[in-house]
Chains A and B, each alone.
Chain A
Amino acid sequence: MEEAYGILNDGGENAVIGGGAWIRMLPRELDAAVDISGLGLGTIKKEDGRYEIGSMVTLRQVEMFKPFSELFNGIISKSAGAIMGVSIRNIATAGGSVAGRFGFSDLIPALLALDTSLFFHARGGISLEDYMESKDVGKDILTKITIKDHEGRGWFHTMKNTSLDFAVLNAAVSNSDGRCRIIVGARPYKAVPAYDAMKFMDECGGKTPAAIREAASIAAGELKFGGNQRGSREYRIELCKTLVERGLSEVFL
């Protein structure tokens, strides 16, 4: 691990590769690609009430890990299973998917809807939410992703034009003891919580269909959306309303 970290920070155009499936798509050339396959980061286990996903765990392992198919109505399994096909999910890693903070990620919104932390070799632990918002992530090595095991209801949906496509918009919603989280990704920007809508839901008295509709509308108003090849800004705003309303209805009604 120290050796890998040393190479990564030797001043060259170096990077850690997860599964390596996407290196070809990088717009730059690498001097060195650091493979951390041999460092024992390929398993999922549970410790101190948290699931620990090694950063080299494949997306397919995440999808098939039994407890994840039940945790918060299986949103982790669903989101991991929504990415490309099995033959890519057997290569691409959880660490690679999260560390890159890609806007199109299906996994990140589901993780953000739960209590998720990341552990890096040098900087140590950080909540996923803080990591998503931090400006400079530096050159570090993600070792594991941890998720608190607790009770709650969850909902995840990714709107795609075909099943293999990237999301036009995705959303994850959770309800843990009445505390609500609403995450919207692929806007096409990276996934973020809709704080105003979450606050509205936490503070509104009755979780009625009307309140839920209001929250969905708040989310669509507070978040920034953009247009790209997969959908216009205007369409994404409408989709956001629909998905958030459906998610909240599912976890609260």
Chain B
Amino acid sequence: MKYVNKGIPSVDGRGLMMGKPAYTDDLAEQGSLVVKVLRSPHPFARIKSIVTDKALNLEGVECVLTHKDFERIPITRAGQGYPEPSPHDKFVLDDYVRHVGDEVAAVAAVDTETALAALDLIEVDYEILEPVLDFEKAFGNKIVIHPEPEIHEMFPIGFDPANNVAASYMMNVGEIEKTLQECDVVVESSFYTQAQAHAMMEPHAVNARIDYMGRLVLYSSTQTPFHVRRIISQALKYPLSKIRVIKPRVGGGFGGKQCVHGELLVSAITLRTGRPAKMAYTRKEVFESTFSRHPMRINIRLGASKEGILKGIDVDVLSDTGAYGEHALTVFMVTGSKVFPLYNKVESIRFGGRVVYTNHTPSGAFRGYGAIQGNFALESAIDILCEKLGADPVEFRLRNMIREGETSPIFEIMGEGTEGTAMVMETCKLDYCIKRGMELIGWKDKYPGSKTGGGKARGVGMAIAMQGSGIPYIDMGAAMIKLNDDGFFNLLVGATEIGQGSDTILVQIAAESLGVEPEKIIVYSSDSDLTPFDAGAYASSTTYVSGNAVKKAADGMSRMIIEEGARILGTAIEDTVFDGVSIISGDRSITLRDLSNKLFYNENQRQLVSAESYVGTKSPPPFMAGFAEVEVDTGTGKVEVLDYAAVVDCGTTINPNLARGQVEGALVQGIGMTLFEDVVYSKTGSLMSNSMMNYRIPTRREINGMHVEFAESYETSGPFGAKSVGEIGIDTPPAAITNAIYNAVGVRVRSLPATPEKVLMGMLGKAVKENGHG
């Protein structure tokens, strides 16, 4: 392969480093109205009255919107395909507020200062309601968070708002109770994960204007421009055909920009005033008023025979969706569906539970999306089981895990809100990943751990993981390639570049198919007027789904070029080839440059355009093994990750450098969730960790050795053998690191993050008061 599996520089890095305006807020129109949102100080309240006269009378204020200005249309902000597997339980503005930071009113003014002054002049009389702040007490609570009659599910997802349930699910393979009874060893444990924040560097931003054709045009820092367009249309009852959503450069997403954010209010203001308007979230708003990872309690039971054969997995999940139900069911499903197939030989699996509403910041999509929570529980429990069995945890995994050519019943049973899709693992290099990872970390010498003196102890730990590649039969990606005079191409894709490198790798795929140099392909992505549809950057879809669409489109373009070339050369199509520069048949040839110029200006004039779409018929999982070596300060409990070895089977890496960047970045995000990123609420329901000062992501000083490698692997259903790589890297750190901590100092951390306090107090045998549970 000439351009695929090559670490070419990204197509956009140079311009971004040099400071070119590229992000949403850079592209707001001069003179835009500044939109600010009045947000609830209460976790749960009813707005008895809201008076905006004083705010409206302030000079420079152009518009104030409250719930009275909107028709009551329930929507979901989830940013998923339609109909969504998330409940329609949100109004643009409502007379209830359900979390601190929920929207009460929006103001548009000539500048920020005036808009903020106007917020202070809005008089709100709240009936303060008792909130539900403990997700373990939400189900069946007498306090009902969503009493409104209009809300509904789009198809059965176990929605039961009267009991504070956004979604619920239950499934069985085999007979779990019988299986566990027959097991020689059974372990049981509970694990808790926190509401990790995405903390992408660019806060959410959106701006809107009415263009000279009378259309509403938005720039938005979104991962799902086409879904955003649809949801604006639904929520504001404004014709879809009059809305254009442009996704400019996005400064990181990680799922945090899959859901709709300020697009609805800013659109409403521009439509009402006719004036351009802009909104940039403050970091506090990003923390309190967008979305975070679903916190979960995972109760797990594992059973095995004394020979070390895993027989049964029993998992009960309680997930906290916060005030609204975006991604409630689907994140929950992935907690099982992208974890259980790792151990495909078990006799019985039971999986079920509820996703409950609370008066906390809503949960939403986040890289790893359930899999990281499920992986933490399962891969921790496997180590606990191995200790009880006296089995080596690596040998145990090698013996019980899924292999190439095998399948799992889970694939067919569990999908994203609907049934799943049966599939056989065409590629699964987990055994290689484990063996290579052991070498990289030095497992044989270091397992389980050692005292290193000076108040330090070291340990190693590991975990295996899988993910998916898109959502089969649901999410579609499309691409168009057009030939220009002078013989270069435009590649138009709906796929959403958010920093993961999709524009670059899609160019590489097109270049490989066409055989032309990447410089000949000009990529433009995610503009609802100009590019074809794509579901968006989520569910590890882009390389596999959008990449396949690009490959099909490029293959189509190659055929067109050969057809036109053969016609001009007067040769038979089957005897004619395109080598990336010229169209050749025998001793006759014409360059693409000459051909395209002829097609534009001289002969049989026509525009060559190839457009294709792709929807997956399966979702081949990437796999990986993660190995952590930690050093624990036995006097402070501080954990340092000395080394992290990750060996990934993601099929062909379209761009090995960018793929490595995806895995390294995901590992550090996973390390952050595991060790540092504590989410703290006050007793009265305010998020205390609502700033970059109080919510601490890893700095570069927390990161030491990191070894990322890829297994040789070729998935024939993927473009040039590729599977996905965006999410898989985040899944292993929680279990691998906490297993390593256990192997270093004998403390089993079951509640993330594994702060120094939890580790030290565990070593001292003292109880730790954990955040909300413990």
Contacts and interface: CB of A to CB of B under 8 A. Distances in A.
Q: Are chains A and B touching directly in their complex (CB below 8 angstroms)? A: yes
Interface of A: 159, 161-166, 168, 229, 231-232, 234-235, 238-239, 242-243, 245-246
Contacts of A161: 676, 678, 696, 755-756
Q: Top 7 A-B pairs ranked by shortest CB distance?
A: A242-B635, A163-B701, A235-B757, A162-B696, A163-B699, A165-B696, A229-B680
A164 B696 contact: yes
Nearest to A233: B769
A7 B478 CA distance: 66
Interface residues of B, number: 27
A242 B689 CA distance: 27
Contacts of A168: 756-757
Contacts of B702: 162-163
Given A161-B755, A229-B689, A235 B761 contact: yes
A243 B455 CA distance: 12
Contacts of B760: 235, 238-239
Given A162-B699, A162-B702, A232 B769 contact: yes
Interface in B725-767: 755-757, 760-761, 764, 766
Given A229-B678, A234-B766, A238-B760, A159 B638 contact: yes
13 contacts: A161-B755, A161-B756, A163-B699, A164-B699, A165-B696, A168-B756, A229-B688, A229-B689, A232-B768, A232-B769, A235-B756, A235-B768, A242-B636
B694 interface: yes
B697 interface: yes
A211 B766 CA distance: 25
Contacts of A229: 678, 680, 688-689, 694
A162 B761 contact: no
B698 A162 contact: yes
Most buried by B among A161, A234, A245: A161
Given A162-B697, A163-B699, A235-B637, 10 more contacts: A159-B638, A161-B696, A163-B702, A165-B696, A168-B757, A229-B688, A229-B689, A229-B694, A232-B769, A239-B760
A120 B275 CA distance: 54
Contacts, number: 54
Nearest to B689: A229
Contacts of A242: 455, 635-636
A176 B698 CA distance: 38
Interface of B: 455, 635-638, 676, 678, 680, 688-689, 693-694, 696-699, 701-702, 755-757, 760-761, 764, 766, 768-769
Given A161-B676, A162-B697, A246 B756 contact: no
B764 A238 contact: yes
Contact of A246 (B635, B694, B698, B769): B635
Contacts of A232: 757, 768-769
A133 to B, nearest CB: 28
A168 to B, nearest CB: 7
A159 B676 contact: no
B287 to A, nearest CB: 14
Contacts of B676: 161-162
B162 to A, nearest CB: 35
Contacts of B688: 229
Nearest to B688: A229
Contacts of A166: 693
Contacts of A234: 761, 766
B636 A239 contact: yes
Contacts of B701: 162-163
A186 to B, nearest CB: 13
Contacts of A165: 696
Contacts of B455: 242, 246
A243 B760 CA distance: 13
A229 B768 CA distance: 13
Contacts of B697: 162
Contacts of A163: 699, 701-702
Contacts of B766: 234
B761 A238 contact: yes
B392 to A, nearest CB: 33
B128 to A, nearest CB: 23
B15 to A, nearest CB: 24
A239 B636 CA distance: 6
Nearest to A157: B636
Contacts of B689: 229
A91 to B, nearest CB: 15
A239 B755 CA distance: 13
A229 B702 CA distance: 20
A229 B688 CA distance: 8
A245 B636 CA distance: 12
Contacts of B764: 238
A125 B404 CA distance: 77
B285 to A, nearest CB: 16
A162 B701 CA distance: 8
A232 B678 CA distance: 14
A178 to B, nearest CB: 25
Nearest to A166: B693
A219 to B, nearest CB: 14
Contacts of B636: 159, 239, 242-243
Contacts of A239: 636, 760
Contacts of A235: 637, 756-757, 760-761, 768
A246 B638 CA distance: 15
A232 B698 CA distance: 22
Nearest to B700: A163
A168 B698 CA distance: 16
Contacts of B693: 166
A35 to B, nearest CB: 22
Nearest to A165: B696
A164 B702 CA distance: 10
A141 to B, nearest CB: 28
B242 to A, nearest CB: 41
Nearest to B692: A164
A249 to B, nearest CB: 10
Nearest to A231: B757
A83 B676 CA distance: 18
Contacts of A245: 635
B100 to A, nearest CB: 16
